[in-house]
Structure 1
Amino acid sequence: MDLILWRHAEAEDGLPDKSRKLTAKGEKQARAMAAWLKSRLPRETQILSSPAKRALQTASALVEKPQIVPALDVGASAAAVLAAAGWPDNGTVVVVGHQPTLGRVAALLLAGEEQDWSVKKGAIWWFSNRVRGGEAQTVLRAVMAPDLL
């Protein structure tokens, strides 16, 4: 399985939190990352998004109609994200979500416990699950931030 954690791009400040929109810079970040991902993702990739407006706008740069998953909303748990994605037994899944949740998922996958790791706005962390010598392994394939594209 490949799991891509994509933090929503830069968003406006304000309330209500779930209604915050991407800034012009955020829209540019989302388009750039979507272009980078499109050339690397298989056709049958699932795109899952938090219902928050900024996450949906980010995901929509990649696919016209991302699948909205309430379990990925602001404040989601790392376990809820992994369950929604079907980790580690699914195909390729992109999860568009929020901090600190995505950082906690990354830490759980790589360090075996949740920690408050930082995922930059608009950045992706790409993980693969594989079996080697009868043991499951988590591999960090890429970390990419929009300012590096």
Structure 2
Amino acid sequence: MEIYLVRHAEAVEQAEGLEDSTRWLTKKGRKAMQKAASRLHKKRVRPDQIITSPLTRAVQTAELLMAEVGSHAELSADSRLAPESTADQVVELLHSRQKLKSIMLVGHEPLLSQTAALLLGKEQVAGLGKGSCLCLEPRLKPGKPARFLWLAPAGGKLISSVKKVLVPVQ
């Protein structure tokens, strides 16, 4: 199974009277996500399922991804991808879908980088920028950490070196 962890694109800033859960993507965020999704399409990313946080900005990001890479995929929302969730809950979600060939999870920081660190068996992983996609491959043997495949930062070149995404222990 390939796991794609995608952070939502740029959203409007938090403001008085605006619920965090209803913050929507900015015009710049939409445009950047469309470009990022197009690059993923060219990389032949085709998830079997896209699961998103139920927050507006994540759902909108997932819809933009669906248009480029997931037209055949099932799209759903899961509260285990909401900002207040834990990496253990996200891993539980992944285990419940382990028969899929590939899955894309759209969510928030720091939850996604915490999940990546847990899957990779690392203490910490650098945070994902808005609109970035991290690709991992779980190992078949239980207890073995996942394998880093690549990181596609929004608007940047593909990173295939795990050393560039790990945070050095101080």
Q: Secondary structure at the match of 1:108?
A: helix
1:18 aligns with 2:26: no
1:87 to 1:147, Cα distance in 2 relative to 1, 3 A: farther
Could you tell me how far 1:38 is from its partner in structure 2? 2.6
Give aligned pairs, total: 146
Could you tell me how far 1:135 is from its partner in structure 2? 7.8
Q: Secondary structure at the match of 1:130?
A: coil
Identity %: 32
Equivalent position of 1:6 in the other structure: 6
1:95 to 1:126, Cα distance in 2 relative to 1, 3 A: same
Equivalent position of 1:100 in the other structure: 110
Equivalent position of 2:79 in the other structure: 70
Larger radius of gyration: 2
Q: Is the 8 A contact 1:12 1:22 kept in 2?
A: yes
Equivalent position of 2:130 in the other structure: 121
CA distance in 1, matches of 2:111, 2:117: 10
1:85 aligns with 2:108: no
Could you tell me how far 1:76 is from its partner in structure 2? 1.4
Q: Is the 8 A contact 1:100 1:117 kept in 2?
A: no
Could you tell me how far 1:137 is from its partner in structure 2? 4.7
1:27 aligns with 2:30: yes
Tell me how large the CA RMSD over aligned residues is: 2.4
Q: Structure 1, residues 63-121: CA drift from partner, whole Å, max 9, x if none?
A: 267211122112211011122122783320000000110010111122344x4731111
CA distance in 1, matches of 2:80, 2:57: 16
The code of the aligned residue for 1:110 comes to L
CA distance in 1, matches of 2:4, 2:64: 15
CA distance in 2, matches of 1:32, 1:87: 31
Could you tell me how far 1:33 is from its partner in structure 2? 1.8
Gap regions ≥5 residues in structure 2: 68-73, 158-170
Q: Structure 1, residues 9-63: CA drift from partner, whole Å, max 9, x if none?
A: 0111123101001111110121112222234223x61100000000001000122
Q: Is the 8 A contact 1:131 1:137 kept in 2?
A: no
